[in-house]
Amino acid sequence: MALLSFIAICLLPLVFGLTVGNVSEIRVPAIYAFGDSLFDVGNNNYLELAKQDTANFPHNGIDFPNRIPTGRFSNGYIGIDFIAKIFGFKMSPPPYLSIRHANQVLKGVNFASGGSGILDTTGNGTITFSTQIRYFEKVTRMLSQHMEQKSAETSLSQSLFVISTVSNDLFAFFALTGATNATLNHNFISSLVDDFVNHLKSLYKLGARKFWISGVGQIGCIPYLMSRNPSGGCFDDLNHLAQSYGEAAKRRLRHLSLRLVGMKYSYSDSYAMTAAIKANPHALGLTEIIGACCGDGKYNGEFQCLPKVTYCSNRDNYFFWDWFHPTEAVYKLTAILAYNGTFSTPINIKQLVLITGASTSLSDK
């Protein structure tokens, strides 16, 4: 813990040396986002889902401009918004299901759907990763209609592809098995990484070259699960499963990048990042790292953040906004660390987007 506290203190220059207000001089043509509720900016609003799988109602969005619940699982902006702001965009690109005109896709699209995962069986009724990729394929055709094919390929090769997924797959597996059998865990993780790599290959074939992958955090410590643990603590078996996935994914990404010409990536170790933040939260402005700001019951994690429940006034001091998701303050913090910090391998986002000369040839696919 002493080492983690030291690391947390060392984070301060990175966090406060680059604020989202200090827009980077680096630019990307577009940002394409894939994944789950950590990146969803409103796609689930257009689906027939249970209320707990959406966020288009108060108190969500209470700190968003005009206090609007947009479908973001947050009190305000989320991580993809802050990444986009760093590159000079107003916020995340629009949700795919909101698009009505082809010119809306020129600066990027957000395909993420809360509740989805790597597996098509995860998140019943949400937009699966496979479907998100099919939607992206339609977007590539729209781009080709607006510019020459070669220009479209060049734009895609220099664009940033951001992905946040796998948490819901791990939740489902843990609920089914308890994650106590080492052999079963290993086989599941290996299969899951195989599927994830296949998704990346599909995106690569469609022109993606630069990937930022947000790893999985300490999901065994979310308020929802801790409120249901008789010990009141984290579910360590689920955290170990998350760590195992992260290590396996990093190994496979190294191998994949050597095989796919022009592929570059940054993998943010969200688990290590979260551990460092929680080791010395006060130094980073956080005073509550266990309970949720909005909700009810133990740790405010037994019930969802709905209009009838209460919420805290000091939201910037909380790690968790609701029973599953971080506050806007933590989204901002982790976005800055992913862009400019040391928790990413082999490079951070800033270094990733500075790479030039990525292959755009269809023959490389």
Compute the radius of gyration of the chain from its Cα atoms: 19
3-state secondary structure (DSSP) of residue 320: strand
36, 37, 164, 344: which one is catalytic?
Answer: 37
Residues 215 and 189 sit within 8 Å (Cβ to Cβ): no
> Half-sphere exposure of residue 27, counting CA atoms within 13 Å on the CB side?
5
State yes or no: is 325 an active-site residue.
Answer: yes
Cα-flanking dihedrals φ and ψ of residue 34, to 5°? -135, 150
Q: At what angle do helices 236-259 and 167-177 cross, to 10 degrees?
A: 140
Q: Which of 154, 156, 249 is nearest to 196 (CA)?
A: 249
268, 269, 322, 344: which one is catalytic?
Answer: 322
Tell me whether residue 29 is exposed, middle or buried, using C-beta atoms within 10 angstroms of its C-beta: 0 to 12, 13 to 18, 19 or more: middle
Residues 6+ apart with CB under 8 A from 344: 266, 267, 268, 269, 338
Amino acid (1-letter code) at residue 163 = I
State yes or no: is 120 an active-site residue.
Answer: no
92, 159, 268, 325: which one is catalytic?
Answer: 325
Q: Which of 124, 220, 141, 211 is nearest to 179 (CA)?
A: 220
Q: At what angle do helices 270-279 and 2-17 cross, to 10 degrees?
A: 100
Q: Which helix (H) or strand (E) holds 4?
A: helix 2-17
Peptide bond into 59 cis (omega under 30): yes
Task: Render 264-301 in DSSP notation, one character per residue.
Answer: EEEEE-HHHHHHHHHHSGGGGT-SEEEEESEEBSGGG-
State yes or no: is 40 an active-site residue.
Answer: no
Cα–Cα distance between 236 and 268 in angstroms, integer?
21
Cα-flanking dihedrals φ and ψ of residue 283, to 5°? -65, -20
Q: Which residues are catalytic?
A: 37, 322, 325
